[in-house]
Each structure stands twice: as C-alpha cells, then as structure tokens.
C-alpha cells in the first residue's frame, strides 16, 4: 500500500487532517485501531473555540454543527455560594465558543470521509513507524479482520494516535524531550438525560472539590466531579453523584440542579504533558500524541485542530512552492500555542480544584484569584481571551 500522507489515528486530529488534505487534493490513508462505533461513542470534549468552528466551516464539515451546535457567549464561575458570569463577546471584542461534542465532530468527519475522501481503515492497528529520517517513511500495521501484517509506504507520516499511540516512540529519546505534570485527582464524568440546569457552563470551586456543569444538547446534561486519583467510577452510586453535585453547586439564590437518569459514567485522569519537538524527519506528531492538557480549560480538541491545520498548510505550501520552510517551522509554530494552552489549563485547574494537601491559605488564595477575575476587567479579559482561544499559526 502507498500514499502521500499516512495518518495514524481517527480521532479529531486524524479525521480533520484527512479532510483538509482531501480538500487540497493530497491523498492520505487513515489507520485506526478501534472500530467505528467505538470512535463515534467515546465521550470526551464538548467545547469548540471560535477558530475550530471557522476551520470546520472552511473544511465543509460544519453543516450539522451549524444546525445543532449551541453558541455560548460566556461561562459562570461559582464559588463561596456566589455566581460570576464571564461575558466573552464583551471582553474579547465579539468572540464566543460552540458547544458541540467531539463525538459529533468525529461522526460528521467519518461520514464525509466515507462519502468523498480516501481510505479510512478501522480495526487496523499501527504497530510502528519506520524510516522517519528517510524520504520514504513507512507504517507497519495489522489488519483487524485477518491479523495479517502489512506496510503503508508514505511520503509523510502524521501520528494522530493520541497519548497511548505508537508514533511518538519513533522519535529517538536522544532528540526528544518531555515535560510532564500529573495531578492527584481526576474527573468523574456523567451523561444524564435531563435538560441542563443552566444555559451556560458552570465551573464551581468548592471546599469539597471542583464540579462542572456542561451539556450535550438542550435535553442532555454532561456533569463532572473532582474525585481522588484512581477512583473507580462504579464506586459512586447515581444518588451519591447527584447529592455531591448539589452540594458543590449550591448558591445563596434559588438555583436548583435538575436530576435525571444517568446513562454513562467514567473517570478521566488529569495530566499536563508536552513532547518536544513535534517532528522527527518526515514524522509529525499532532494532537494528544504530542501533548495533553487537563480538561479544565477545554483545550485538548482545539489544540489538535490547530496542529493539523498547521501541518496541512505547510504541506500545501510545499506542494505549491517547493519550499519546506513551513514544515520546518511546524513544531515551533504549534508549540507556542500548545504552551499557552498548557499555561491556561494549569491555571484553571489550580484555580478550581482542591488538592488533597490544600491548606486554608490555599483556599483563601483561590477565592482571592476568583474575586480578582470577577472584579477586574483586565483579569476577566485574560480568562475570556484564553478560553475563546488563541489564533492558529
């Protein structure tokens, strides 16, 4: 098998990259280890930055998003039983975000790829990237149906295979460097068949821990609770989840949390991670394969989009001009945006979560930081600009 760009992974990064390349007349093959139903059902991100929305529209992949996505002009910060709304358009000169789930973005891109794009092979696991330093890198992979091994010969390989993928391992440790931080807590996330209890996202800081109210549609709520690292989702009953959410979201006014049937429960660990550089020879890393952020800033999916847009532009530039200057700049260009997202995600995480060893001093500092955001236009603007997203490239 032969192609111009071998793409490992059919998450948002790999699927969008295949679409962008197809639109530019560049052929690709996508290899995905899981089956289609799994990829379309995996619950993850929910917030699309303005730049992500613009990219999906320009790629011709936004028809359903524009019908079903919910435009949000702000978020609520909740602490000390008080509520503060951060107004995005007012603070950023008109920017907003879109609530449209990652599962839906993936479904839309998969459908388009099957209708119009190149091969997208599910249940096909990449085993290794070979020859990254040569003109003809290869991906060794295994066909799911037969178990037979095969090789995909490429001009370029893009590792969009997430944090646990194989692409990153093809960068020799002598040239790569990693930066990492883990957090002593995770998120218990639930989906519930109940209309969201607020029309915007609510990020709550509470002495018992963080809570987040988000949504998937006008009739489906997505809720998260900070839990200790290593928590088993099954150890929380539905009743315990609702009463803990109620406590953490409590206010002095008459706001109430609507309860409904919980249809899914899972725990996500929290990690900050960056691999530098994001390129080795003709292998490029994009999305979670190169970096992870804790979900508090809603940045993971948006970073993946920025990476693949940057790669596609660079390859199109090379095809048009013969110049590799943008490909050479790929890693540095992406990393500038990645580190801003790392900083923001870290700030949001430490602003809102209660560490197991937190002292009363730490608690007061968090409230002071929140008061600052609520009371200063400059501080509010800083949050609003970062949340609605930094430009790509």
Q: Which residues are catalytic?
A: 72, 203, 295, 299, 387
Closest to 199 (Cα-Cα) out of 89, 95, 72: 72
Q: Which residues of 141-153 are buried (b: 16+ CB within 10 A; e: fewer)?
A: bbebeeeeeeebe
> What is the number of residues in the chain?
393
Q: Return the residues of window 255-294 that contact ligand RFL according to CB under 6 A.
A: 268, 287-288
Q: Is 12 among the residues that bind ligand PHB (CB under 6 A)? A: no
Binding span for ligand PHB by CB under 6 A among 41-49, 66-74, 175-183, 275-283: 41-49
Binding span for ligand PHB by CB under 6 A among 78-86, 242-250, 291-299, 349-357: 291-299
Handedness of CA 79, 80, 83, 85 (dihedral sign): negative
CA triple 101-181-184, angle to 5 deg: 80
Question: 39 contacts which partner out of ligand RFL, ligand PHB, none, CB within 5 to 8 A by kind?
Answer: ligand RFL
Q: Is 298 among the residues that bind ligand RFL (CB under 6 A)? A: yes
CA 287 to CA 304: how far, in whole Å?
Answer: 4
**For residue 147, which phi and psi values (nearest 5 degrees)?**
80, 5
252, two tokens: 């002095």
Site string for ligand RFL, 4-23 (x = CB under 6 A): ----xxxxxxx---------
CA 195 to CA 242: how far, in whole Å?
Answer: 14
Binding span for ligand PHB by CB under 6 A among 45-53, 118-126, 154-162, 228-236: 45-53
Q: Is 226 among the residues that bind ligand PHB (CB under 6 A)? A: no
Binding span for ligand PHB by CB under 6 A among 44-52, 124-132, 323-331, 349-357: 44-52
Other beta carbons less than 10 A from residue 242's beta carbon: 19
Q: Give me the residue whose beta carbon is nearest to ligand PHB.
A: 46
Taking the alpha carbons at both ends of the chain, their separation in whole angstroms is: 32
* Interstrand relation of 124-130 and 291-292 (parallel, antiparallel or unpaired): unpaired
Question: For residue 277, is the peptide bond before it cis, meaning its omega torsion is within 30 degrees of 0?
Answer: yes
Among 76, 161, 200, 276, binds ligand RFL (CB under 6 A): 161
33, two tokens: 């280890």
What are the residues whose beta carbons fall under 8 Å from the beta carbon of 126, sequence distance 6 or more?
Answer: 8, 9, 31, 33, 139, 140, 141, 161, 165, 166, 167
Q: Is 48 among the residues that bind ligand PHB (CB under 6 A)? A: no
Q: Is 296 among the residues that bind ligand PHB (CB under 6 A)? A: yes
Q: Is 279 among the residues that bind ligand PHB (CB under 6 A)? A: no
Question: 126 contacts which partner out of ligand PHB, ligand RFL, none, CB within 5 to 8 A by kind?
Answer: ligand RFL
Nearer to ligand RFL, 197 or 268 (CB): 268
Question: 137 contacts which partner out of ligand RFL, ligand PHB, none, CB within 5 to 8 A by kind?
Answer: none
Among 11, 12, 14, 46, binds ligand PHB (CB under 6 A): 46
**For residue 30, which phi and psi values (nearest 5 degrees)?**
-105, 130
Nearer to ligand PHB, 18 or 47 (CB): 47
Binding span for ligand PHB by CB under 6 A among 27-35, 170-178, 236-244, 294-302: 294-302
Question: 285 contacts which partner out of ligand RFL, ligand PHB, none, CB within 5 to 8 A by kind?
Answer: none
Question: 310 contacts which partner out of ligand RFL, ligand PHB, none, CB within 5 to 8 A by kind?
Answer: none
Q: Return the residues of window 185-224 that contact ligand PHB according to CB under 6 A.
A: 201, 214, 222
**Do the beta carbons of residue 43 and residue 189 sit within 8 Å?**
yes
Q: Is 32 among the residues that bind ligand RFL (CB under 6 A)? A: yes
Question: 165 contacts which partner out of ligand RFL, ligand PHB, none, CB within 5 to 8 A by kind?
Answer: ligand RFL
CA 336 to CA 332: how far, in whole Å?
Answer: 6
Nearer to ligand RFL, 135 or 343 (CB): 343
* Interstrand relation of 70-72 and 47-48 (parallel, antiparallel or unpaired): unpaired
DSSP 368: H
Handedness of CA 54, 55, 59, 60 (dihedral sign): negative
Question: 10 contacts which partner out of ligand RFL, ligand PHB, none, CB within 5 to 8 A by kind?
Answer: ligand RFL
**Residue for token digits 């400059």?**
378
Closest to 247 (Cα-Cα) out of 350, 239, 359: 239
| Site for ligand PHB, rule CB under 6 A | 45-47, 201, 214, 222, 295-296, 298
| Site for ligand RFL, rule CB under 6 A | 8-14, 31-34, 39, 44-46, 102, 125-126, 160-163, 165-166, 268, 287-288, 295, 298-301, 304
């Amino acid at each position: 098998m032969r192609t111009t760009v071998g793409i490992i992974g059919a998450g948002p990064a790999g699927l969008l990259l295949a679409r962008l390349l197809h639109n530019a007349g560049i052929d690709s093959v996508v290899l995905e280890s899981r089956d289609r139903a799994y990829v379309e059902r995996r619950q993850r991100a929910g917030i699309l930055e303005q730049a992500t929305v613009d990219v999906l529209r320009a790629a011709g992949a936004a028809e359903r998003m524009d019908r079903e996505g919910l435009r949000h002009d702000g978020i609520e910060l909740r602490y000390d039983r008080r509520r503060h709304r951060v107004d995005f358009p007012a603070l950023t000169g008109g920017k907003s975000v879109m609530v449209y789930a990652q599962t839906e973005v993936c479904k839309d891109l998969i459908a388009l790829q099957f209708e119009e794009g190149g091969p997208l092979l599910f249940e096909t696991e990449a085993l290794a990237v070979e020859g990254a330093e040569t003109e003809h890198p290869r991906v060794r992979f295994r066909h799911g149906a037969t178990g037979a091994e095969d090789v995909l010969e490429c001009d370029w390989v893009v590792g969009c295979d997430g944090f646990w993928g194989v692409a990153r391992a093809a960068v020799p440790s002598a040239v790569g460097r990693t930066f990492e931080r883990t957090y002593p807590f995770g998120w218990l996330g639930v989906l519930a068949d109940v209309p969201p209890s607020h029309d915007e996202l609510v990020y709550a800081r509470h002495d018992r821990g963080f809570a987040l109210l988000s949504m998937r549609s006008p009739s489906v709520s997505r809720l998260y609770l900070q839990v200790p690292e290593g928590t088993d989702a099954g150890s929380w009953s539905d009743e315990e989840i609702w009463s803990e959410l109620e406590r953490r979201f409590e206010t002095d006014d008459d706001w109430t949390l609507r309860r409904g049937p919980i249809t899914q429960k899972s725990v996500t660990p929290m990690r900050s991670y960056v691999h530098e550089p994001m390129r080795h020879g003709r292998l490029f890393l994009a999305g979670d394969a190169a970096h992870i952020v804790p979900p508090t800033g809603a940045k993971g999916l948006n970073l993946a989009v920025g990476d693949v847009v940057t790669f596609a532009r660079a390859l199109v530039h090379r095809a048009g001009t013969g110049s590799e200057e943008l490909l050479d700049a790929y890693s540095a260009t992406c990393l500038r945006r990645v580190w801003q997202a790392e900083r923001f995600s870290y700030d949001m995480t430490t602003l809102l979560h209660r560490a197991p060893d937190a002292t009363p001093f730490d608690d007061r500092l968090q409230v002071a930081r929140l008061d600052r955001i609520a009371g200063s236009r400059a501080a509010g603007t800083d949050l609003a600009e970062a949340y609605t997203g930094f430009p790509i490239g």
